[in-house]
A and B are shown apart, each in its own frame.
Chain A
């Protein structure tokens, strides 16, 4: 059975004063029905843009999807008319943004902001919409939803706002939800609650989920598969466990290094990721990680590594790891 979403080699570029920013430069991944995948990477590695590309919300005219295919439920979203695409948004695919305060309209009540989507896609009357909104708020665990539905965003706490965002996202029972770093702005205790909430809801509605995060730690628990992005490319992917336990790409390893791991005793000290990600306007020839990689071989400067199946269902794009062994095991 075909996956719900197939992203094929999309390139999303931004025109800026200073030049063309290749935010997403040929990324491919897929999501099965009911599956949760994670897009992982440092901020600015293009994971958010690749997600927005799915909804075709990369702010035109500056940002543009220059090539690629996004097959959702058998149809190429990039070929849809504006109108058809609009009907997709919120109804079939919805998104939870990372900054709930700025992502909610300050001058509209939470209720209205939840119900308006319903009014469009489920053509409910405003009053029905409000009832549904109340139900949804209850579902995402807002106390006294009947009262809170009339509140304005600034009257909600950070966590509650994010719950409201979730309510908006699930309002029309979409088949795919994109959660863009949903927990970065809330503190750790609430993080867990929210992620649990998202997981339960997706289970309940059998919705697919793209979880975007820079925290590999949570990935293992919530996602089935992980796609690691760096400088607009996917440099490694596989099942959450494989990637988590035996990363092939030095970058992934680095990311893991930046996560405290209680399950394994520390062996060799890992390299923390030093330096800055490359300038997306002027990408270097060869591997884009070269500058920060402790293990690079001359080849890294010449040619860009392609994703190779380094282990069953486990792919990585790294010249060193082509040698069937993890870079740091050379040492």
Chain B
């Protein structure tokens, strides 16, 4: 945490010490995290409003201008089919962000209930679920992804599903751990004493309190999903062309790496930047939400 000397001036407006207010206060102080967050927001906007930013379409081929280097006409050059790289990068952001975020929906959708049930119910239920998790762990996820993709076919939704299906395990474990620790705390005991039902307690007390760590984990697993998409596209089992994704762009660029290296450079940089932003944001959130850091 930054230990910048602050004078009496801003002492007057000390932060409100609720978890969220306090977290937001501390997050605002973390420049890197804010930078990351801002980049992500800007990128999302750029992706959403891509058509207003560039007049090129992501599938619009210009066979007279193939593999051109950056120019005024094509800011980042063109690819093997004369498509504007900048445009594809923008539209590709849609894919990558979509993969990054919607995968989390599936991950949380599967991991949270399983973890919550295991953590709350405990005993044999917990045992069975956690053994299941163990099996998932020792399964080579790449095999699952490839096979699932082969069964479901090549679309972006199938991609969300395939990636999500193999990466919910961490969340499940986390939620379970969280709930187990919180379960033992007094106010939950109190709630139970007051005759609160299991699910009610889970939803009213346990989940809200384990929300912080979950948010952090999710933030960190967004880049992981984007990673996965890129890697899969590199193996040629990514999204359905001509829809661009940064992964497919890297893959295409890799094919021409010696002749026009910038084709791989730009999407690679884009991915790296997005990753870094998410990592910074995640760090910031962790520091902000981690109760241990509160004084």
The 8 A CB mask of A206-238 against B (1 = contact, 0 = none) is: 000000000000000000000000000000000
- Tell whether, in the assembled complex, residue A17 and residue B1 are in contact, meaning their CB atoms are under 8 Å apart: yes
Q: Say how far A271's CB is from chain B's closest CB, in angstroms.
A: 29
Chain B hits for A324, CB < 8 A: none
B5-13, B224-232, B240-248, B279-287: which lies at the A interface?
Answer: B5-13
Chain B hits for A20, CB < 8 A: 5
User: From residue 228 to 275 of chain A, which have CB atoms closer than 8 A to chain B?
Assistant: none
- Tell whether, in the assembled complex, residue A282 and residue B11 are in contact, meaning their CB atoms are under 8 Å apart: yes
Chain B hits for A281, CB < 8 A: 8, 11
Chain A hits for B72, CB < 8 A: none
Cβ-based interface call for B151 (8 A) = no
Cβ-based interface call for A61 (8 A) = yes
The 8 A CB mask of B263-295 against A (1 = contact, 0 = none) is: 000000000000000000000000000000001
**Would you call the interface of chain B mostly helix, strand, loop, or mixed?**
loop
Cβ-based interface call for A123 (8 A) = no
Q: Say how far B128's CB is from chain A's closest CB, in angstroms.
A: 30
CA distance A62 to B1 in the complex (A): 11
Q: Say how far B22's CB is from chain A's closest CB, in angstroms.
A: 11
Out of A18, A61, A62, name the residue touching B14 (CB < 8 Å): A18
- Tell whether, in the assembled complex, residue A18 and residue B6 are in contact, meaning their CB atoms are under 8 Å apart: yes
- Tell whether, in the assembled complex, residue A19 and residue B7 are in contact, meaning their CB atoms are under 8 Å apart: yes
- Tell whether, in the assembled complex, residue B8 and residue A17 are in contact, meaning their CB atoms are under 8 Å apart: no
User: From residue 266 to 308 of chain A, which have CB atoms closer than 8 A to chain B?
Assistant: 281-282
Q: Say how far A328's CB is from chain B's closest CB, in angstroms.
A: 35
Cβ-based interface call for A184 (8 A) = no
User: From residue 1 to 41 of chain A, which have CB atoms closer than 8 A to chain B?
Assistant: 15-20
Complex: chain A residue closest to B5, CB-CB: A15
Centre residue among A19, A20, A62 by max chain B CB count within 10 A: A19
Chain B hits for A16, CB < 8 A: 3, 295
- Tell whether, in the assembled complex, residue A282 and residue B6 are in contact, meaning their CB atoms are under 8 Å apart: no
- Tell whether, in the assembled complex, residue B3 and residue A19 are in contact, meaning their CB atoms are under 8 Å apart: no
CA distance A18 to B2 in the complex (A): 11
Chain B hits for A282, CB < 8 A: 8, 11
- Tell whether, in the assembled complex, residue A62 and residue B8 are in contact, meaning their CB atoms are under 8 Å apart: no
The 8 A CB mask of A168-206 against B (1 = contact, 0 = none) is: 000000000000000000000000000000000000000
CA distance A16 to B8 in the complex (A): 12
Q: Say how far A43's CB is from chain B's closest CB, in angstroms.
A: 15
Q: Say how far B8's CB is from chain A's closest CB, in angstroms.
A: 6
Complex: chain A residue closest to B4, CB-CB: A17
The 8 A CB mask of B195-228 against A (1 = contact, 0 = none) is: 0000000000000000000000000000000000
Complex: chain B residue closest to A20, CB-CB: B5
CA distance A61 to B8 in the complex (A): 21
Q: Say how far A165's CB is from chain B's closest CB, in angstroms.
A: 24
CA distance A62 to B3 in the complex (A): 8
User: From residue 48 to 69 of chain A, which have CB atoms closer than 8 A to chain B?
Assistant: 61-62
- Tell whether, in the assembled complex, residue A17 and residue B3 are in contact, meaning their CB atoms are under 8 Å apart: yes
Cβ-based interface call for B31 (8 A) = no
Query: Known contacts being A18-B11, A19-B11, A282-B11, is A61 close to B6, with CB within 8 Å?
Result: no
- Tell whether, in the assembled complex, residue B3 and residue A15 are in contact, meaning their CB atoms are under 8 Å apart: yes
Chain B hits for A61, CB < 8 A: 3
CA distance A18 to B294 in the complex (A): 13
The 8 A CB mask of B11-36 against A (1 = contact, 0 = none) is: 10010000000000000010000000
CA distance A139 to B49 in the complex (A): 77
CA distance A10 to B6 in the complex (A): 23
Q: Say how far B180's CB is from chain A's closest CB, in angstroms.
A: 19
CA distance A281 to B5 in the complex (A): 12
CA distance A282 to B14 in the complex (A): 12
- Tell whether, in the assembled complex, residue A17 and residue B7 are in contact, meaning their CB atoms are under 8 Å apart: no
Centre residue among A16, A17, A20 by max chain B CB count within 10 A: A17
CA distance A20 to B10 in the complex (A): 12
CA distance A19 to B10 in the complex (A): 9
Q: Say how far B30's CB is from chain A's closest CB, in angstroms.
A: 12
CA distance A19 to B15 in the complex (A): 13
Complex: chain A residue closest to B12, CB-CB: A282
Chain A hits for B1, CB < 8 A: 17
CA distance A16 to B5 in the complex (A): 7
CA distance A18 to B14 in the complex (A): 7
CA distance A61 to B3 in the complex (A): 9
CA distance A17 to B5 in the complex (A): 7
Q: Say how far A100's CB is from chain B's closest CB, in angstroms.
A: 21
Given A16-B295, A17-B4, A281-B11, 8 extra CB contacts under 8 A: A15-B3, A17-B29, A18-B11, A19-B6, A19-B7, A20-B5, A61-B3, A282-B8
Measuring CB to CB, which residues of chain A are less than 8 angstroms from any residue of chain B?
A: 15-20, 61-62, 281-282
Q: Which 9 residue pairs across A and B have the least CB separation, nearest first?
A: A19-B11, A19-B6, A15-B3, A281-B11, A18-B11, A15-B5, A18-B14, A282-B11, A62-B3
Listed by A's residue number, 8 A-B pairs whose Cβ atoms lie within 8 Å are A15-B5, A16-B295, A17-B2, A17-B6, A18-B14, A19-B7, A281-B8, A282-B11
